[in-house]
Amino acid sequence: MQQLSASLKAEGKTIGFVPTMGYLHDGHLSLIKTAHAGAQVVVVSIYVNPAQFGPSEDLSNYPRDIERDQLLCRENGVDIIFYPDDGQMYPDAYATYVDVEGLTQHLCGATRPGHFRGVTTIVNKLFNIVQPDCAVFGQKDGQQALVIKKMVKDLHIPVQIIIAPTIREKNGLALSSRNKYLTPKQRKEASVLYKALQLGEHLILDKGELKASVIIDEISKLFQNKPDFTIDYITIVDTLKVQPIEHLSGEIMLALAIYVGKARLIDNIIIQVPRDQIPEIH
């Protein structure tokens, strides 16, 4: 892959990169489309990265279908699929990891210790292998997007990061490979995740509610009396340091993670809250 990228670059071609864990859906396909718009050659990686799964998580059950993925890539004009195995990515005595501090403390970082260390490590490795000019990630994984942008900035990685919008089903449910774990009934009811985000946005922008605790309480009520749904977190953070905030101002992310039956689903929205008016001093 490194040699292939080097020779493409020697020909003057630009490379757009979409890292995935496979079992592709329309969310991935929209990232591929964005990559095509930004570069001449599109590389998709398909790799279920063990380093980003906790010991009791769904690594062994994670849905896979490489043949279907290959077809979808072909249909969508992907030039190269990079499909490594664990032995290549983490050979015996593998020892090097990348950690972004602070931004990985809360939200999914709190529930999934080590998750972002696995993500930033594999993305670094993939960037070094694929050597892309630009790479496309989805807003669906909102904290991941912020963490990767921070890593690229801090480590001076010469890759342009593009964040593409979340693709949803008609009922609002964000597409995810993990939706495969849902029963048809749960998939229908899971539209409540996006409804919850929209309620938050309504309270903030239309009702002028700027206290995070009040908003989170209201949103939490949507998950009461739903036996299949358990809240992992509903949190509002700033998009710079990804720290929970109580008084909302500036660019914020309302994010949630909800267990729905066997699946843990995440979703988020970014909201621009008018900045506090600072009185002029004469």
Ligand X SMILES: Nc1ncnc2c1ncn2[C@@H]1O[C@H](COP(=O)(O)OP(=O)(O)O)[C@@H](O)[C@H]1O
Decide whether 31 or 126 has the Cβ nearer to ligand X.
31
Neighbours of 242 (CB within 10 A): 23
Report the first-to-last Cα separation within the chain, whole angstroms. 62
Contact 113, 54 (CB under 8 A): yes
Query: Could you list the active site residues?
Result: 28
Report the residue number, 44 or 216, with the smaller CB distance to ligand X.
44
Residue 17 binds to ligand X (criterion: CB under 6 A): no
Residue 137 touching ligand X (CB under 6 A): yes
Tell the smallest beta-carbon distance from residue 34 to ligand X (Å): 9
264 binds ligand X (CB under 6 A): no
Supply the minimum distance, in Å, between the C-beta of residue 260 and ligand X: 14
Using CA atoms, how far apart are residues 230 and 259, in angstroms rounded to an integer? 5
- Which of 15, 21, 197, 256 touches ligand X by CB under 6 A? 21
d(CA 91, CA 37): 35
Binders in 144-203 for ligand X, by CB under 6 A: 164, 166-167, 174-178
Question: Quick one: 131 or 176, whose CB is closer to ligand X?
Answer: 176
Name the helix (H) or strand (E) containing 267. Answer: strand 263-273
User: For residues 259 and 34, what is the distance between their CA atoms, to the nearest angstrom?
Assistant: 30
Region near ligand X per CB under 6 A, out of 134-142, 202-210, 212-220, 241-249: 134-142
Region of 91-99, 101-109, 137-145, 255-263 interacting with ligand X (CB under 6 A): 137-145
Length of the chain measured in residues? 282
Can you name the residues that pair with 233 across neighbouring β-strands? 257
**Beta carbon nearer to ligand X, 8 or 266:** 266
Contact (CB, 8 A) for 219 and 229: no
Q: Which of residues 24-83 bind ligand X (CB under 6 A)?
A: 27-28, 30-31
Could you say which DSSP state residue 247 is in?
A: B
Distance in Å, CB of 161 to ligand X, minimum: 10
Q: Which of 5, 20, 124, 143 binds ligand X (CB under 6 A)?
A: 20
Closer residue to ligand X in complex, CB, 5/144: 144
Of the candidates 130, 149, 174, 162, the one whose C-alpha atom is nearest the C-alpha of residue 263 is 174
Q: Is 140 in the site for ligand X (CB under 6 A)?
A: yes
Give 11: exposed, middle or buried? Use CB within 10 Å, 0-12, 13-18, 19+. exposed
| Smaller CB separation from ligand X, 19 or 212 | 19
Report the residue closest to ligand X, judged by CB: 138
CA-nearest of 101, 112, 111 to 147 is 101
Q: Which residues bind ligand X (CB under 6 A)?
A: 20-21, 27-28, 30-31, 137-138, 140-141, 164, 166-167, 174-178
